[in-house]
Amino acid sequence: MKLLELQSLSVRYGGVHALESASLSIYQHDVVALMGPNGAGKSTLLKALFGLTPLSRGSIIWKGKAINPHPWEMIARGIVFVPQGRRIFPSLSVQENLEIGGWTLSSTKAVKVRRDDLMEQFPVLAEKRTAHAGTLSGGQQQLLAIARGLMVTPTLLLLDEPTIGLSPRMVSEVFETIRAIKERSHTTIMIVEHNIKSLVHIVNRAVILDKGKIVRDEGDVSKLLEGD
């Protein structure tokens, strides 16, 4: 089933074309890597989809209906964005960070049930549930940011460079977490990531951007490693 269709999306920052006539279809259970050089428009595409960057032109179709994206509405629709930089609330506890992520859930009880479920899925967070999030390592903070995004059980999860600045061990743990999300909940995922070698066994498509344009949509990701 087609979840999302981007039709000729364009974004300008002043006179710069950050994204130009980008068209893309995302299907249920897709795990899509957005790749390309710095400044290619990868992060801009995710931000435009989530409503963080205004569109100059184009349409976004979600489950067959045209939408005007605003972040608070996108979460209610089932679309969650985890940005670069591990943007957690450092002075709040791990469990409080998770609870904030569940603000759209129906009741306090539903928030607690979902929080405890995620604690089971992320044992490292359960061990530090009462600790201030700012005391966690960089990798643990990234796992917390991802777990917070999962509080609303999203249909589509947008991840913007989740492994940037992490140690090789934590990079492996983050990728294992993404694989587990894919297999456990069949969440559709779009991920901006440079480390394609670690993603090749997780994603089913790679979309390549260059200078704000989509230049390739590859269903056989292994070809990218062969240099084809």
Tens-place pLDDT, residues 20-38: 999 999 999 999 999 999 9
Q: How far apart are CA 228 and CA 224, in angstroms?
A: 6
Give the pLDDT band of residue 226 (cuts 50, 70, 90): low
- At position 209, the amino acid (one-letter code) is L
Tens-place pLDDT, residues 52-72: 999 999 999 999 999 999 988
Does pLDDT of 193 surpass 90? no
* Average confidence score pLDDT of the chain: 91
- pTM (predicted TM-score): 0.93
Give exposure, 163-197, as e/b (b: 16+ Cβ within 10 Å): bbebeeebbebbbebbeebbeeeebbbbbbbbeee
Sign of the Cα pseudo-torsion (44, 50, 52, 57, in order):
positive
Residue 135 C-alpha from the chain's centroid: 24
Give exposure, 31-55, as e/b (b: 16+ Cβ within 10 Å): bbbbbbeeebbbbbbbbbbbbbbeb
The DSSP code for 106 is S
Instruction: Report the DSSP beta bridge partners of residue 208.
Output: 35, 216
Q: How far apart are CA 36 and CA 153, in angstroms?
A: 29
Instruction: Report the DSSP beta bridge partners of residue 66.
Output: 61
